[in-house]
Structure 1
Amino acid sequence: MLKAVLFDLDGTLLDTATDFTRVLNGLLNEHQRPLQHYEAVRRRVSDGARAVVNLGFGIDPDHPDFAALLAAFLDRYETQIAVETTLFPGMDAQLRKLEAQGLKWGIVTNKPSRFTEPLLRALDLDGRCGSAICPDHVTHRKPDPEPIYLACKELGVNPKEAVYVGDHRRDIDAGRNAGMATIACAFGYISEGESVEDWLPDYIIHHADELETVLAQHRKKLEEAPCP
């Protein structure tokens, strides 16, 4: 039986790119650097804050100024974490349908708890999700399956009774490594040159509204599977 749905955070459950763009451009403006367009930042968000700083300043982590710029970016983001961030269109309705059906849902993200927890509180999601696993809760982050295993443990489900929804290759790899079905979000923060089909997910959705249909397909597949 399908008992739970796990989500990646940025680019899957939440549209955070506008806040990332605004924070980055504020920092770039102070350093008299050219501002970045939203679309350019959007393509880098799923790769983390380091990738966003790299985009804006054109320097790698081994550059002597990188650590200070990263710290400044993260400090700013922490204070402006949910100014324009929202659930993706249609996602709240999908979550409510899961809840109405008695399905548990949780979050497995590579976003540190320093940012994840206040973000969920700001959007009134902290009391709704049954688990929110961040990299500082585990030894190994995605694509290692450890954080998914921990989320399943907290939700009280077997990984085979859950699906993982994400917008990055590592999400699909993590779900596969945990032995669960995967759903790729083609509407998410897909890096330039990437194709979700190449990740070989079990399902692909192009809008949050499609999640209900895909989950129904997966339930039917589970029901028709031969007993071991």
Structure 2
Amino acid sequence: MTSIKAVIFDLDDTLIHSGINYKEIKSNMIEFLVKAGVDSSLLKEDMPNIKIIGVAVEDLRKKGVPESAVKKVLHKVNAILDEAEMKSLDDAKLMENALEVLEILKKRGLKVGVVTNGCRKYADKVTKLFSLEKYVDALIARDDVPSPKPSPGPLLKALEILCVPADKAVFVGDHWIDAVCAKKAGVKFIFFKSKKWDIECNEGIHDEVVDDLRTLITLI
């Protein structure tokens, strides 16, 4: 991967070992959405959060729920996510070799970005907690954009801040939503193998696969 000018990372389970209890979040979201009037048969715990929210909003609108009420539901869903993310900080750990790799990238003159579906408060706290913020030139969180990953919006916003075109950047992430986000944005994608997610979800939409962040140094 020659002529790369920026490396953009996912945050949870890429730069840090996340302490977020994803199963609990989904369960709480679904429980609330069903109480809010969403058909329970439409919501499954194996669906990504963004899909759960999208299906719920569509169902509420089909039922004629006023837009003001839909917005209140979305506000509560985001509050559930925010609370779970902040609660997870005590269990978060730095990913092996993350600081070493970031330091090398910066010494090479590369720009570094982070794009996360976590809320801004969580992203700021966790990057400061592990001294990541001094390496990061652009940080885009869930509440910084109209639509989070897998929408390309967050990644495109990071590129805009970094002043780097899509074909001069690479995105590193551990989840299929990262891969789809990168593809839609026209950015090369490196799949970071995490114990939490299956590589099969990313078949055909990654340019490289690594299981150690240090491998990035030889690829970029």
Query: What TM-score do the two structures reach when normalised by structure 1?
Result: 0.69
Equivalent residue for 1:106? Answer: 113
One of 13, 17, 35 as aligned partner of 1:64: 35
Give 2:218's aligned amino acid. Answer: T
> Which of 72, 75, 84 pairs up with 2:83?
75
Rounded to whole Å, the distance in 1 between the matches of 2:151 and 2:78 is 25
Amino acid at match of 2:11: L
Cα deviation, residue 137, structure 1: 1.2
> Cα deviations across residues 123-171 of structure 1 (Å, max 9, x unaligned)?
2222320000012111222122111111011111111110001111111
- Residue aligning to 2:17: 15
Aligned CA distance change for structure 1 residues 64 and 8 (closer, same or farther; 3 Å): same
Residue 184 (str. 1) matches residue 191 (str. 2): yes
Number of corresponding residues: 181
1:220 aligned partner: none
Taking the aligned partners of 2:192 and 2:201, their CA distance within structure 1 comes to 8
Rate the CA distance shift 1:77–1:137 in 2: closer, same or farther, 3 A.
closer
Q: 1:76 to 1:150 in 2, by over 3 A?
A: closer
Contact 1:12 1:188 in 2 (8 A): no
For structure 1, list consecutive stretches of 5 or more residues without a partner in the other structure. 22-44, 46-50, 216-228
Q: 1:54 to 1:158 in 2, by over 3 A?
A: closer
Residue of structure 2 in register with 1:136 after alignment: 143
How far residue 71 of structure 1 moved from its aligned partner, in angstroms, is 5.2
Identity of matched residues, %: 25
What aligned pairs does 1:113-192 form with structure 2 within 5 A after superposition? 113-187=120-194, 189-190=196-197
Task: Return the match for 1:90 from 88, 94, 97.
Answer: 97
The one-letter code matched in structure 1 to 2:112 is W
SS at match of 2:121: helix
CA distance in 2, matches of 1:105, 1:58: 33
Q: CA shift at 1:69, angstroms?
A: 10
1:195 aligned residue (191, 195, 200): 200
Backbone CA RMSD of aligned residues: 2.8
Answer yes or no: is the 8 Å Cα contact 1:81–1:115 preserved in 2. no
Residue in 2 that maps onto 1:54? 26
State the alpha-carbon separation in 1 of the partners of residues 29 and 118 from structure 2.
22
- Measured in 2, the distance between the counterparts of 1:205 and 1:108 equals 19
Classify 1:75/1:143 alpha carbon distance in 2 versus 1 (closer, same or farther; 3 Å): closer
Report the TM-score, using the length of structure 2 for normalisation.
0.71
Which moved further from structure 2: 6-15 or 204-213? 204-213
Structure 2 unaligned blocks of 5 or more: 37-72
What secondary structure, in the 3-state scheme, does the structure 1 residue paired with 2:20 have? helix
Aligned counterparts of 1:12 and 1:109: Cα–Cα separation in 2: 10
